[in-house]
Structure 1
Amino acid sequence: MGLSWKQKVFLALLGTAVALGLTALVLVLVEAVNVLLPADTKFGIVFDAGSSHTSLFVYRWPVDKENGTGVVSQALACQVEGPGISSYTSDPAQAGESLRGCLEEALALIPEAQHRGTPMFLGATAGMRLLSQKNSSQAEDIFAAVTRVLAGSPVDFQGAKLLDGQDEGAFGWITINYVLGLLIKYSFSGEWTRPLEGTLVGALDLGGASTQIAFVPGGPILDTSTQATFHLYGSNYSVYTYSYLCFGRDQMLSRLLAGLVQSPSASLVRHPCYHSGYRTTLPLASLYESPCVYSAAPQNLTQNLTVEGTGDPGACVMAIQELFNCSSGQDVGECAFDGVYQPPLWGQFYAFSNFYYTFYFLNLTSRQSLGTANATVWNFCKEPWKLVEASYPGQERWLRDYCACGLYILTLLTEGYGFSEETWPSIEFRKQAGGMDIGWTLGYMLNLTGMIPAEAPAQWRAESYSVWAAGVVFLVLTLVSVLGAAAVQFFWPQD
């Protein structure tokens, strides 16, 4: 017996529904493969040529999400052996040669086929800024030597540049807010949205020669020379940022010691920031090499200076306070120190670099109160040198300076930047966030490669929905197939 016209129609409908369902299944599987298989990866290299050392960072990101947020990861962090490049004034060629070891590590990590397409940058900060002030020809020779080595590598070297202090602070701000996903977020509704007001964090950086502060204040920035403006992902940001040259860790220590020298002919200095029982001798000439040391140099720089520690934190704080000029008198509003305008502090802050390293050593990175931090540093300063040496074997290089650095950080953050007992808990002392070292290098690379677009690309939403849309189509068509089969069963003649 032949099929009735109704049976033929429902069979045709059933076949069509099954075919469409299979097509949708193929589509969703193709999309799933595209998502699950590793996307092509791009790389970027940044050298951070600081005052005391140089570091190399390799970053990587999936090509299909190049303008996404939070998709860049840190693939390598390498510390170059030796001092910062600004130290090679007597042998500029060695400044370039010193970079080869970390460069070779980076090239070994990145697939050879991608070398030519990998951008590489070198940014020099406060150490080279000081050298440029002191002797511009020496600075140019060092940059030339660095450029010769890096330009000879197989990657796309974009040049060695001197960062000004404002850029250093601003790129640090971009880095931390990008890594934390605070510039833009992907919502459950499938849209890229700007995070709520007030969620942005500030950046506090303490290097060897300078310190930077950057944050978005709660009100207007009245001194435009301290303002950096960005248009990122469709939003405008006005960031207060300032860099204090000569207020970095190493320059502070030199200025502090020079200030304790009572007279040009002195051969002995009693240092309240060094532990009692500590004693060292150093060439007097080394103390006056930096342009940050404003004290008049003695005529006889060939003599040595003996330094004895007294372990007196109270006297140490007083000596540190002499480094600051906290007099106000600014017409435009608040004054932090050194006659510089600063709006009132606002929001959370991440303190990194030497802020973190010093407080990590002192076990103060767990959101302790300001009172606890003060007591911890003061008690450490009072410990005799022999006890300190015995308690921290293998750390002799920096050990004598942790007392001075700890008290300096407390003074800088409270009397300099204006943190109080109430606002102190807003500071997090961190080395990393999201598995990445915090600093200016990531923000610098993101800016130069255009990886943070001014506007949020409209296709992001469509791309994000592609797999889910295919899945919905598949489910709908499968339902049609089931209904068609049920209908045929219903109308099919029963034996």
Structure 2
Amino acid sequence: MGKLTVQRYVTGALAGVAVGSGVIALILSLVKITSVTLPPSFKYGMVFDAGSTHTSLFVYKWLADKENGTGLVTQLLLCDVDGPGISSYSSDPPRAGQSLRSCLDTAAAAIPSERQRESPVYLGATAGMRLLEMQSPVETEQVLAEVRNTIRSYPFDFQGARIISGAEEGAYGWITINYLLSSFIKFSYEGKWKHPKNGNLLGALDLGGASTQITFAPKEQIKDKQSEASFRLYGYEHTVYTHSFLCYGKEQFMNKILAKLVKEHSISSPVPHPCFPAGYQLNTTLGDIFTSPCTSKPEPYTPASAVTFKGSGTPAQCEALVKTLVNLSACTGKPECSFDGVYQPPVQGSYFAFAAFFYTFDFLKLAPQSTLDVTRRTIAAFCSRDWKSLKVEFPSEKDSRLREYCGAGYYITTLLVDAYKFDNQSWNNIVFQKKADDTDIGWTLGYMLNLTNLIPSEAPPEVKGHDYDVWIGSLFFIVLAIAVCLLAIAVQCLGSPD
């Protein structure tokens, strides 16, 4: 066999190896395609919840490459602002803005400096500011102006501060819960996005300081369009019933009790309070009781007049008093009605009860779940205890909270059972919870998700890529093919006649 023939055989063999390596690399690139993992890069967003009794700042983060997709938004931190809600600074608006600085400083320390300019920050004011706006629109705008000025002084992307409606508060709370629990869309084991059945959507029960909200997806068509909210999320339409009851938050309702007792008794002597523990005494003034439009002033009315409430610890009287203030009679003869004559379709499905619902029942050891019978017995037993024994058992609990757990317990059962119509069976579908997936439940996350478009209206497309091991294998054979081709060329050149 001649030298030229050997050279041709070698060159042909090398060419065959090169072609084969290229084919193998092509096959590997086509056969196994899966998700690609890239180095994480995060984005951040912030929402101030300016409630009636206090303000909190929630800082969230999510993967930058999942923006407008289905990446999970997680809670980075929660900062509670010192002092009362911003509505309390109506007589000194600059203090409202100054109160936010400590939490803004905390957020600035937690968010990387290179991300701060693009991190949106929102402030939503709820029922406390709604009530202030009813009393003084001028003072309301002054408070909001000071808040805006303070937030703008920080290197964030300020997106506005405004009063949100009760319907928004309820609807965004509903979005938050179902987003965190993957009720809208889930990534299946088959590697596909799937939409759970509507029966898995949870209702939201929110009890704040000045208002309370109920939001759920009813089985039947909603008859009152003012109580209807619709969303298109991940390619599916969602219609929910939502209603907010202003002046029926926990703090305002406890104040309603004081106001009613004052009007029914002479304040020249201690006023008996059936919901306060026996042995407890509260000294206050009429001006402290009748401060909001939720309570009508008595006649005559002198703000500085002193009044003393003396606890009697009588559970049956406390429950009866609470029921007179919920105005259940306005729904007599109306099957689809909660209280105050407000339309409500029948409750159905499971519910998350949060905020003061959770805090009250957590203290009474009724969270996350208990039967209705156990709940009633527990509240009655607590309301029968005297102040001295309660202080011995709960020495660190603030007096302003400890004295109100009895009344709050009866208010919650009255609201859920007598007004919303939960019965012995459907009560078991309520979970009293503060968090879901390590994130605080409330309206703030749903609010930010909506304003930043992090929940798309259409279902996400499937994105494909190569596994790391497949990519390495393909690269090896591509490099091998190139090397063999170069070797073949070298052999061809070396064997060519001069």
> Quick check: TM above 0.5?
yes
Q: Which amino acid aligns with 2:314?
A: D
Check 1:292–1:434 CA distance in 2 against 1; reply closer, same or farther (3 A cut). same
SS of the residue corresponding to residue 221 of structure 1 reads: coil
Aligned 8 A contact 1:211 1:243 in 2: yes
> Would you say 1:352 and 2:354 are equivalent positions?
yes
Check 1:276–1:265 CA distance in 2 against 1; reply closer, same or farther (3 A cut). closer
Aligned 8 A contact 1:211 1:248 in 2: yes
> Would you say 1:466 and 2:470 are equivalent positions?
no
What's 2:86 paired with?
Answer: 85
What's 1:412 paired with?
Answer: 415
Q: Which amino acid aligns with 1:377?
A: I
> Equivalents in 2 of 1:327, 1:471: separation in Å?
70
What's 2:426 paired with?
Answer: 423
> Equivalents in 2 of 1:298, 1:10: separation in Å?
110
Question: Which structure 2 residues correspond to residues 187-266 of structure 1 after superposition, within 5 A?
Answer: 187-261=188-262, 262-263=264-265, 265-266=267-268
> Would you say 1:370 and 2:379 are equivalent positions?
no
Q: Shift of the alpha carbon at 1:346?
A: 1.2
Q: Which amino acid aligns with 1:389?
A: K
Check 1:187–1:102 CA distance in 2 against 1; reply closer, same or farther (3 A cut). same
Structure ID, larger Rg: 2
- After superposition, the C-alpha distances for 1:49-71 in whole angstroms (9 at most, x for unaligned) are 00000000000000111233361
> Equivalents in 2 of 1:229, 1:308: separation in Å?
48
Q: For 2:452, which of 449, 454, 460 is the aligned residue?
A: 449
> Equivalents in 1 of 2:472, 2:334: separation in Å?
61
> Equivalents in 2 of 1:273, 1:241: separation in Å?
30
Aligned 8 A contact 2:171 2:215 in 1: yes
Q: Which moved more, 1:375-384 or 1:117-126?
A: 375-384
Aligned 8 A contact 1:283 1:305 in 2: yes
What's 2:151 paired with?
Answer: 150
- After superposition, the C-alpha distances for 1:29-59 in whole angstroms (9 at most, x for unaligned) are 9998x6152x211000100000000000000
Q: Which moved more, 1:188-197 or 1:284-293?
A: 188-197
> Equivalents in 1 of 2:130, 2:269: separation in Å?
31
Check 1:331–1:473 CA distance in 2 against 1; reply closer, same or farther (3 A cut). farther
CA RMSD of aligned residues (A): 2.8
Q: Shift of the alpha carbon at 1:328?
A: 5.2
- Percent pairwise identity: 45
Q: Shift of the alpha carbon at 1:472?
A: 9.3
Aligned 8 A contact 1:222 1:332 in 2: no
SS of the residue corresponding to residue 328 of structure 2 reads: coil
SS of the residue corresponding to residue 208 of structure 1 reads: coil
Check 1:290–1:329 CA distance in 2 against 1; reply closer, same or farther (3 A cut). closer
Aligned 8 A contact 1:326 1:335 in 2: no
> Equivalents in 2 of 1:213, 1:14: separation in Å?
70
What's 2:442 paired with?
Answer: 439
> Equivalents in 1 of 2:180, 2:254: separation in Å?
32
Q: Which moved more, 1:274-283 or 1:68-77?
A: 68-77
Q: Shift of the alpha carbon at 1:474?
A: 5.4
Aligned residues: 473
Q: Shift of the alpha carbon at 1:332?
A: 8.8
Check 1:331–1:444 CA distance in 2 against 1; reply closer, same or farther (3 A cut). farther
Q: For 1:327, which of 323, 326, 329 is the aligned residue?
A: 329
Aligned 8 A contact 1:120 1:158 in 2: yes
> Equivalents in 2 of 1:469, 1:40: separation in Å?
19
Aligned 8 A contact 1:70 1:181 in 2: no
